[in-house]
Structure 1
Amino acid sequence: MSLLVEIDRYLRRTGTPPTTFGRRAVNDPRLVGDMRRGRLPGPGVRARVEAMLQESQ
């Protein structure tokens, strides 16, 4: 499953705005919007996002 799909599921489940998620995960409020437009996160960003998603489960 793609990281963006996992993020979108988290956002729907929690009601968290995309900008808030990006700010909390990697201090980048544009992260989710940029990913939706094709941005591919580097390994460090990806690891931090995955860690945040794991914490929420």
Structure 2
Amino acid sequence: MLLRTIEKFLRDYQIAPTRFGRDAVRDPRLVFDLRMGRDPGDRVKRRVEHFMNEYRRSVSQ
């Protein structure tokens, strides 16, 4: 579910996976690891969701 949301976000905002991971959780491999089956913890999920929400808000203003 989280990976699907991230993939849509990357397409919608044309952000590279490495940039997303670095900006969201300081891990440029995040998206690649998720694609390979990484199961993120609750803290990472919250940070990713917070980043996406804040990014959407900043773009829509």
Unmatched 5+ residue regions in structure 2? none
Instruction: Give TM-score, length-normalised by structure 2.
Output: 0.86
Deviating beyond 4 angstroms after TM superposition, the runs of 4 or more aligned structure 1 residues are none
Where do residues 26-41 of structure 1 align in structure 2 (5 Å cutoff)?
26-41=25-40
1:52 aligned partner:
51
Over the matched positions of the two proteins, sequence identity in percent amounts to: 50
Instruction: Give TM-score, length-normalised by structure 1.
Output: 0.92
With 46-55 and 24-33 compared, the bigger mean Cα shift is at: 46-55
Which secondary structure state, in structure 2, belongs to the residue aligned with residue 48 of structure 1? Answer: helix
Where do residues 17-28 of structure 1 align in structure 2 (5 Å cutoff)?
17-28=16-27
Mapped to 1, the partners of 2:16 and 2:38 lie a distance apart of: 18
The alpha-carbon deviation at position 52 of structure 1 amounts to 1.1
Unmatched 5+ residue regions in structure 1? none
- Pairs aligned (count): 56
Structure holding more helix per residue = 2
Higher relative contact order (CA 8 A, sep 6+): 1
